Amino acid sequence: MGAPRRISTFEALLSEVRAVAAEAPVGFGAAMAHCAQSIDCSIDGYPKPAAWLVRAVIGPRVLKKFLAQGFMQHDTKAPVPGVPPPEPGLASMAGLERLEAAIGRFRAHTGPFAPHFAYGAVSRDAWEAVHSMHVANHLDALLV
């Protein structure tokens, strides 16, 4: 596996995922729908927050590390806590459409963002970067 993708904006992310969608790797649709769920949760709230210590101490340090290094590495098989995982055989274009819709919601959102289940409070710019890194990490896992 090569170096991790460094994608930190939705504009760069959408260009990348649209190019990858043409190759339609197995699991792409479900992975993109999973990432869309996370973006939606940053607006609507995460149903199952991590323990207080994780949100107050560990999570913010992990977020800071990801933002500083410009990429994320996480368990790409883990669902968003408290959210049912997308159907595994979801078509690539359906997953891409869900991701594009979630990004559209995020861009249009003018209110406060919900705290991350592990990182706690996250600024709008950091949310965009971390969501983009999240999708990039899933792309890396799919394209090994």
Q: Under a CB-based contact definition with an 8 Å cutoff, are residues 118 and 50 in contact?
A: yes
Average of per-residue pLDDT across 110-130: 97
**DSSP code per residue over 63-83:** HHHHHHHT-----TTPPPTTS
4 part of a folded domain: no
Q: Is the dihedral of CA 38, 39, 42, 45 positive or negative?
A: negative
Measured from the Cβ of residue 7, the count of other Cβ atoms closer than 10 Å reads 25
Q: Would you say residue 88 lies in a domain? A: yes
Q: Are 45 and 121 in contact (CB under 8 A)?
A: no
Does residue 99 lie within any of the structural domains? yes
Domain that holds residue 116: 10-142
Quick one: pLDDT at residue 64?
Answer: 98
Asked, for residue 96, whether it belongs to a domain, the answer is yes
Q: H helices then E strands: how many in the chain?
A: 6, 0
* pLDDT single digits (tens) 82-118: 999 999 999 999 999 999 999 999 999 999 999 999 9
pTM given for the model = 0.95
13-60 pLDDT per residue, tens: 999 999 988 887 889 999 999 999 999 999 999 999 999 999 999 999
Residue 5 lies in a domain: no
Q: Where does residue 1 rank: exposed (0-12), middle (13-18), buried (19+ CB within 10 A)?
A: exposed
pLDDT of residue 1: 57
137 contacts 69 by C-beta, under 8 angstroms: no
Overall domain count for the chain: 1
What is the DSSP code string of 34-45?
HHHHHHHHHHH-
Calculate the CA 127 to chain-centre distance. Answer: 9
